[in-house]
Chain A
Amino acid sequence: MIRPIVIVGASMGGLRAAESLRKGGYTGGLVVIGDESHAPYNRPPLSKEVLAEHVDHAAVAFTIPPILEDVEWALGSPVASADLQVQSVTTADGRVLDYSALIIATGLRPRRLEFEGMPPRGSHAIRTLDDAMALRSELKPGARVVVYGAGFIGCEAAATARKLGAEVTVVGKGSVPLLRPLGEQLARDIQSRQEAHGVKFVMNSNLVRIAGTETVTGVVLDSGLTLACDVLIEAIGSEPNVEFLQGNDIDIESGIHVDGTLHALRVNGQPWENVFAIGDVARFPIPQFCETTRRVEHWNIPTEMARKVGQILSATMTENPALADHLAKPFAPIPSFWSDQFEVSLLSYGLLDQADDIRLLEGAVGGNCVYGYFKGESMVGVCGIGMRSKIMGYRNSVGLTPEGGSSALS
């Protein structure tokens, strides 16, 4: 029997990879394995609409196009192990699947707090639909909510909870929320806008203990401050889902290391010809913006990677001469993210955290504005509040220029 292509991960990346394979003319077997029982759905609404409104899976589910009607969706059990030599994966419920090619799109899982004697209820992460629905039932008007972690998920959840009438305090390790992803100017601006809506911030703090026996009743910070609360939202980052690959000759340090054509790499840097990784779990070269490989947890990345892998793999399977073109052109995305918190609507292109200098390009601090993120003379990113057309106008100019210090050219 001819082995199918197996896609591990049934979220956006897995779905788009399946689509791209079929659009590229691959008609063979296709199995998509997912740990959640839900068919693929869109995650950004989880910290916003799903918490705020009574929406269900149908409201956030991706449309499954007719070209995928003969795809097998093996949902509800994660992959537990893989053997890349014999080309097979085994799910946690014991099913063994031999593959012709493997696309890994297992994504991330939230990092969770692990304190001895932590109460079993009242503490939530936000990664899956089930997570968001469980949290939603606790976000009542007047509920005291502590959000631990002042990144995008934490700040968006804080805004949503506040809009629902909760008393919200964000506890963060840095001096300002969103400092690392946005830099000081925009980060301070957003903090003051959040504060104007009644969200409190306790920064430069770590959580050292959680109070409560049955459910969370408070958190204790390293400053000694105790915050009473009914709900704790943990938004302290995430970990790549790579453990199932342990024991194989594959580089899974800080995500799955892939090359410019998204082939997974062995420990010695040589590619696996029939193993690819895409989405949040992939650590890839992005020489237009930085000199090292990295993961980019932006929403547009899985779709673009899936398209690329689908093109390569379908051309390989159908012996399409376009394969040479697909292999010659390395993956070169322009990362993009957006975020909505109260009236603040952020839009960004590029990799902001590469910048050593941030300049106001348009508008005014505290109002609608556009900032350029520079590394030397190169604008490596653009981000702003409102002013979408202006921001979009800069999209095609972001990236390192030779003068800006690209190592390959300097």
Chain B
Amino acid sequence: MIKIHVDMDKCQHYGQCVFEAPTVFALNEDDKLEYHATADDSELENVERAIDVCPMQAIAFAK
């Protein structure tokens, strides 16, 4: 199990993470980011890519 944290003070809802890890990140009806704070280990690589492509560098693995 991996744990994910998005710093919502930094997040500007660009949604670039959504394409990398669509089962973890999504934009809601109001175009705001929503995400699952935990994900299966199989999502590791996708979440790593989401972390890389976040324009605000707001995503990190949580301890």
Residues of A within 8 A of B (CB): 16, 19, 42, 44, 62-63, 299-300, 303, 336, 338, 340, 345, 347, 386-389, 392, 395
CA distance A392 to B33 in the complex (A): 13
Q: Which residues of A contact B3 (CB under 8 A)?
A: none
Residues of the B chain whose Cβ atoms lie less than 8 Å from the Cβ of A336: 16
- Bound form: Cα–Cα A63–B7 in Å: 14
Task: Please give me the residue from chain B that is nearest to A338 by CB atom.
Answer: B14
Q: Is the CB of A388 within 8 A of B57?
A: no
Please give the residue numbers on chain B whose beta carbons come within 8 Å of chain A beta carbons, in ascending order. Answer: 12-16, 18-19, 27, 29, 31, 52-53, 55, 57, 60
CA distance A387 to B31 in the complex (A): 7
Of B14, B52, B55, B60, the residue contacting A388 (CB under 8 A) is B14
**B26 closest partner in A (C-beta):** A389
Inter-subunit contact A44/B15 (CB<8 Å): no
Q: Is the CB of B55 within 8 A of A347?
A: no
A300 and B57 in contact, given A16-B52, A388-B27, A389-B31 (Cβ under 8 angstroms)? no
CB distance from B57 to the nearest CB of A (A): 6
Q: Which among A16, A19, A299, A389 is the interface contact of B55 at CB below 8 angstroms? A: A299
**With A16-B52, A303-B52 in contact, do A62 and B57 touch (Cβ < 8 Å)?**
yes
| Minimum C-beta distance from A305 to chain B (A) | 12
Closest to B60 in A: A63
Contact assessment for A340 and B27 in the assembled complex, using a CB-CB cutoff below 8 Å: no
Q: At the interface, is chain A mostly helix, strand, loop or mixed?
A: mixed
**CB within 8 Å for A303 and B57 given contacts A340-B12, A388-B27, A389-B27:** no
Q: With contacts A336-B16, A395-B19 known, is A386 near B31, CB below 8 A?
A: yes
Q: How far is the CA of A133 from the CA of B5 in the complex (A)?
A: 30
A44–B16 Cα distance when bound, in Å, is 15
Q: Which listed residue (A16, A62, A392) contacts B15, Cβ 8 A?
A: A392
7 cross-chain pairs, A with B, having the tightest CB-CB distances, nearest first: A388-B31, A389-B27, A388-B15, A392-B15, A303-B52, A389-B31, A338-B14
Residues of chain A within 8 A of B29, CB atoms compared: 389
Distance of A130 Cα from B52 Cα, bound (Å):
24
B residues in contact with A303, CB < 8 Å: 52-53
Question: Which residues of B have CB within 8 Å of A44?
Answer: 55
Seed contacts A386-B31, A395-B19; 8 additional CB < 8 Å A-B pairs: A42-B55, A303-B52, A303-B53, A345-B12, A388-B14, A388-B27, A389-B29, A392-B27
- B57 A347 Cβ-Cβ under 8 A: no
Q: A63–B31 contact, CB under 8 A?
A: no
Q: Which residues of the other chain, B, contact A386 by a CB distance below 8 angstroms?
A: 31
User: What's the Cα separation between A42 and B29 when bound, in Å?
Assistant: 29
B39 to chain A, nearest CB (A): 18
A338 B55 Cβ-Cβ under 8 A:
yes
Question: What are 29 sample pairs from A and B whose C-beta atoms fall under 8 A apart?
Answer: A16-B52, A19-B52, A42-B57, A44-B55, A62-B57, A63-B57, A63-B60, A300-B16, A300-B53, A303-B52, A303-B53, A336-B16, A338-B14, A340-B12, A345-B12, A347-B14, A347-B15, A386-B31, A387-B31, A388-B13, A388-B14, A388-B15, A388-B27, A389-B27, A389-B29, A389-B31, A392-B15, A392-B18, A392-B19
Contacts of B55 in A (CB 8 A): 42, 44, 299, 338
